Amino acid sequence: MTGIRDRITETDPGKVRGVTQGEVVSFRGIPYAASPVGALRFAPPQPHPGWSEVREAVQAGPAVPQAASRLERVMGTRVPDWNEDGSLTVNVHAPLRAFEGGPTRPVLVWWHGGGFTSGSGGWDWYDGGRLAALGDIVVVTANYRVGPLGYLYLPEIGAENLGPQDQAAVLRWVRDNIASFGGDPRNVTVGGQSAGAYSALSLALDPQTSGLVSRVLLQSGPFGLLPQDPQNAAKHAEAYLRLLDVPGGADAAKVLRALPVERLLSAYGRLAGQLARPGNAAPPMYPVLGCPGVPRDLQRALADGALEGKSLLIGTTRDEATAFTAFDPRIQHLTASGALDLLTGQLGEQAHEVYQRYAARLPQATPSQVFTAVQTDELFRNGSLRIADHHAAGGNATYVYQFDYQPAEDEHALGATHCGELPFLFNTFDAYPDSPMLGRPTDAVRTLGHTFATAVAEFVTTGSVSDWLPYTPTTAARIRHFD
């Protein structure tokens, strides 16, 4: 089927008009909550007031206000497209056949990464149309508040884990509306990459949202990063208010809601600069323990069985941390003692033993490369494997992958870096022109993307992958490699 045709469907707030392109109908920029402006800035998401006429849903809504991603040199640059007004939106991509009767389709709700500081579900990087067509599934992406707008910790004004609260609102929107797009609200996989994977796991574990989740897809989650301690979050909030010259307490709300959003972003950037340490991936503000969305430690929730009964697909790229170290001269010029000093700040007494073990495993590696390998495992791989081990040991369907693709021309020695699998999942290779992590997508590269995306779509549909052995605890042979 060719051509472009309008398609109108009903949602609780009102009717929306999407566009049919080939075998997929896409609805972009549908509000799932009221605009977080004025009195709703730094407030939990509120229902959208709705609309009476048919709403055009052809273009994605604006991104949430944010600074440029620190991974632009890896992924590619983006033209700023943010606006606080109208930023809380979803994008729904559904097979055309889903509107022609028959069974409802499985749903994938997928969260973008960006270190809890940047990103947008509406960017062409994450366009779900091709994945929806390939797998005959409904794909949903969404915006959630990031940076200070989403993670400032000021509970006295109602600001606590607003980003996770936005994500929970999206899941409730899916529950209430996805049937209008041919999706099955009782068959929802929640997935995401990096910070999005962290968010997906949190939603699957939180008693407030776990019942809305059937399966879980976790790509390169930074599970070595513990939820932020409330005391540290409060200190960062105090430092942020000082940079803005805003008084603390309840009076802060009125002032913060009146400031230009550019000032909020500028102060956040200065705070990030003050807190930055080489190799430290933690942003100034991210999910806070004990607040909405993260009521308890993720590892404790897993140990208590909060993920039991949900199929899991989890994986990492082979060289995750190069995305954070390859362009940092402070790390590229590390000496062995300098690398050990940085690791001591992260690992404490274990640092020396860990460094020596990795140096022996990588005898030709520079101190920078050893440090990067440790970072890959400590922040990404080890935590993912611990989750997989625990889940599989409980008899739950568990599938583990490692993405090993690296571009043929790898002048920055990125290897198979963080975010490298994203164009493969969504078949959005053309959205990454001149991206160092991708290189030039040959026919073989596109075939690899088809293989990877097909496996993910099958998991979303059935909770298993037919030609992929389920993972068993600590069994490396059961890890599927994509290269």
Question: Does 411 qualify as catalytic in the annotation?
Answer: no
Catalytic choice (84, 160, 320, 378): 320
Give the whole-angstrom CA distance, residue 184 versus residue 299: 30
- Three-state SS string over the chain comes to CCCEEEEEEEECCEEEEEEEECCEEEEEEEECCCCCCHHHCCCCCCCCCCCCCCEECCCCCCECCCCCCCCHHHHCCCCCCECCCCCCEEEEEEEHHHHCCCCCEEEEEEECCCCCCCCCCCCHHHCCHHHHHHHCCEEEEECCCCHHHHHCCEHHHCECCHHHHHHHHHHHHHHHHHHHHCEEEEEEEEEEECHHHHHHHHHHHCCCCHHHCCEEEEECCCCCCCCECHHHHHHHHHHHHHHHCCCCHHHHHHHHHHCCHHHHHHHHHHHHHHHCCCCCCCCCCCCECCECCECCCHHHHHHCCCCCCCEEEEEEECCCCHHHHCCCHHHHCCCHHHHHHHHHHHHHHHHHHHHHHHHHHCCCCCHHHHHHHHHHHHHHHHHHHHHHHHHHHCCCCEEEEEECCCCCCCCCCCCCCCCCCHHHHHCCHHHCCCCCCCCCCCHHHHHHHHHHHHHHHHHHHHCCCCCCCCCCCCCHHHEEEEC
Q: Which two tokens stand for residue 281?
A: 């991936």
418 is catalytic: yes
d(C-alpha 48, C-alpha 29), whole Å: 13
Q: Which of 26, 118, 194, 384 is catalytic?
A: 194
Structure tokens at 469: 């052995």
Yes or no: say if 123 and 449 are a contact pair by the CB < 8 Å rule: no
Is 320 among the catalytic positions? yes
| Residues 371, 359 contacting (CB under 8 angstroms) | no
Which one from 202, 214, 418, 421 is the annotated catalytic residue? 418
Separation of CA 101 from chain center: 33
Bridge partners (DSSP) listed for residue 292? none
Q: Which residues contact 410 (CB under 8 A, 6 or more apart)?
A: 436, 439
Q: Which residues are catalytic?
A: 194, 320, 418
